[in-house]
Amino acid sequence: MPSDALPRPRLLVSVRDADEAAMAAGAGADLVDAKDPDRGALGALPVETVRAIVAAIAGGAVSSAVAGEPQEAAALPGLVAAMAGTGIGYVKVAVRPDFDAAALAAAARAAPGRLIAVLFAGTPIPENLVGRLAEAGFAGVMIDTAAKDGRRLTDLLPAPRLSAFTADARAHGLLSGLAGSLAIADIAVLSAHRPDYLGFRGGLCFGNDRTRGLDPERVALAIHTLRGLDRRNAA
């Protein structure tokens, strides 16, 4: 492998039920992420649905589930604990920059080594926030777009800011992810920022509509595109 080759990101596919989960895992998705696309960017599914998703994956992929978008810091630990109890791998929860250290630490204790913070691209992200999340005990951090209005992650944050974000996560020992109305064509561009995961929903659905079902052909194409990065790096 050339010395300047970059490790490719892994593919996160968001699913809304057990059937989608089984399809995504069977197709080769690296991480199957449970969330409700009818309830905004980080809508949580019922815990019973998440348990069914865990059973459908049957260890065939890493898994995660969204715990919601709490407006108050005090709600964090309870939401995280409820989703962690489903048997899912990672738990994702929206984190506001003004949440205090005690609440962040309590949330991390509710899912030890498994909690991923989701930050929104349209909200200013303080320079010290990633460090605070690492200190609190989070396992990773992602950036997503809050409003699913057609604007993509790359419309809201410039390339240098995305590279700085993933570098900050690596420096603090956290997993990193980039998501937000991504298209398959974004894979090659965003891979240069060295995220651990690229997150998809709408771009892999029929008609680019995140509230419709996943299109198996698009899921397969995304996986093929990522594997093509491996072949390019090996050349």
Annotated active-site positions, please? 35, 92
SS3 content of the chain, % helix, strand, coil (to 5): 45, 20, 40
Our CA dihedral for 49, 20, 62, 92, rounded to 10 degrees, sits at -50
How many CA atoms lie within 13 Å of 146's alpha carbon, on the beta-carbon side?
12
Q: Which long-range contacts (CB under 8 A, 24 or more apart) does 125-134 make?
A: 125/97, 125/165, 126/97, 129/95, 129/97, 130/165, 130/168, 130/169, 130/172, 130/174, 131/168, 131/172, 132/101, 132/104, 133/95, 133/104, 133/172, 133/174, 134/172, 134/173, 134/174
The DSSP bridge pattern shows strands 175-179 and 140-144 to be: parallel
| Rounded Cα–Cα distance for residues 115 and 118 (Å) | 10
